[in-house]
Structure 1
């Protein structure tokens, strides 16, 4: 019998909960059976994330009785677990966490938040509870957007400082990302394309709210990083990680509307189509068009509130 959701389920990072659901759905779609052995590394590659979110998702699935772990071994126990119980619903606090992350991104971009902040300052400024603030900071830390200071408090990571910074970033990406798809050792991990397709189609098939941009950007970032990893070129992976970091808050604080999100998702699916058809040159051309289209979008630094 499946276990109930843990008592502290509201404190589970949104990324871990969503990833746990996606892992279980993918296992079910490919007909996985109880007793099947799973690999954390393979899951990280399939879903285009680091090992930390996978570890969190596996821990949640274990708490629910879906998997069983013994050291590095992960065994599937209950592939029939109700996916609906892993749905991210407004009442679980995830909307509040995403809304706070968007607000932090906006205020950081406007210069209203300094590079170094304390939890007391953030809690007082935004009037949020400790659980919501802790969940937001944990999610940002996992993404590399903030880091703990040695003494106390948190430090925000680097981001675009100006429109010129952003333009230079996209010129760089136009040089390296299409070329990465043409690297001689390029190879997508088994299941990665299907996992990415499923994540993108979810955004295309539902309504949109500003707080969705946090989850969409992380899917977007995982897509571009996953393709860099598939190139087999570690320097390209390092460059992509840096570029994702620079654009994270700019994308959390999205200013181009829901339609552009749909265009971006459709562009990604088109690149996947070409790769799955074995046409890497077409995929590279589509990547170039995708990046050029995004680079052409208007971008501006946010002025302070009331300024």
Structure 2
């Protein structure tokens, strides 16, 4: 039973990280049990675990929902993520190899294509893949672990600004400048650009959440 619950936890965690499940989305036991072809017992166990780690929350008469963070919590998380992502850029610039450079360039191309098509879902996936390519290029497993730990909390919010006019193109341009700095082995510039990229996104989020709540 525990093994089944563990599989559910990992799948739901990935759904939240990828943005497939967004803040405020409701998780119904019956629907999850049917989706995974299991009884409600491992579903309840998985939900309890995700509530305990802060990815889900429960509300009276609503059951389990993807946790919605306060504006302060979001900014706090993005401040930490910005520093870690900046560090990844510094290390990637220092440890650059042709293979890692090619991988980052391929992911940037995916971002460019998604932005041209104005495909927000595709861009959300391409964006995470671009950042992951930088993390892999950094070559520090402890750093990657820390970023992945944060990702479960911030990734549901990363795609929210994509609905803003021109944001996909602007984000791609920011990615381009970041990669140019990494490829030029300009580690301090790459760090600065990434931190600015992350915090500009984070500071927009409270306004976007206010607009969503007003609907």
Q: TM bucket by the smaller chain?
A: 0.5 to 0.7
Residues 178, 194 of structure 2: 8 Å contact kept: yes
Residues 180, 236 of structure 1: 8 Å contact kept: yes
Larger radius of gyration: 1
Offset, 1:237: 0.4
Residues 265, 247 of structure 1: CA spacing in aligned structure 2 closer, same or farther, 3 A cutoff?
A: same
Deviations, residues 77-96 of structure 1 (Å, cap 9, x unaligned): xxxxxxxxxxxxxxxxxxxx
2:72 is equivalent to residue 161 of structure 1 = no
**TM-score, normalised via structure 2 length:** 0.64
- Give the number of the structure with larger relative contact order, counting CA–CA contacts within 8 Å between residues 6 or more apart: 2
Tell me the C-alpha RMSD between the 2 structures.
3.4
Counterpart in the other structure of 2:81: 173
2:139 is equivalent to residue 232 of structure 1 = yes
Residues 119, 271 of structure 1: CA spacing in aligned structure 2 closer, same or farther, 3 A cutoff?
A: same
Residues 203, 262 of structure 1: 8 Å contact kept: no
- Pick aligned residue for 1:295 from 189, 199, 202: 202
Offset, 1:203: 2.3
Offset, 1:168: 0.6
Q: What CA distance in whole angstroms lies between the structure 1 residues aligned with 2:214 and 2:42?
A: 29
Query: How is 1:102-121 mapped onto 2 (pairs within 5 angstroms)?
Result: 105=22, 109-110=23-24, 113-114=26-27, 117-119=29-31
Residues 118, 265 of structure 1: CA spacing in aligned structure 2 closer, same or farther, 3 A cutoff?
A: farther
Q: Which moved more, 1:240-249 or 1:261-270?
A: 240-249
Counterpart in the other structure of 1:194: 105
> SS where residue 183 of structure 1 aligns?
helix
Q: What CA distance in whole angstroms lies between the structure 1 residues aligned with 2:42 and 2:194?
A: 43
Offset, 1:303: 4.0
Offset, 1:261: 2.1
**TM-score, normalised via structure 1 length:** 0.47
The answer to which structure has the higher helix fraction is 2
- Where structure 1 has 5 or more consecutive residues not aligned to the other structure, the ranges are 1-100, 124-133, 138-147
Q: What CA distance in whole angstroms lies between the structure 1 residues aligned with 2:41 and 2:159?
A: 27
Q: What CA distance in whole angstroms lies between the structure 1 residues aligned with 2:96 and 2:68?
A: 31
Residues 167, 295 of structure 1: 8 Å contact kept: yes
Counterpart in the other structure of 1:277: 184
Offset, 1:272: 0.9
Corresponding residue pairs, total: 172
Residues 30, 40 of structure 2: 8 Å contact kept: no
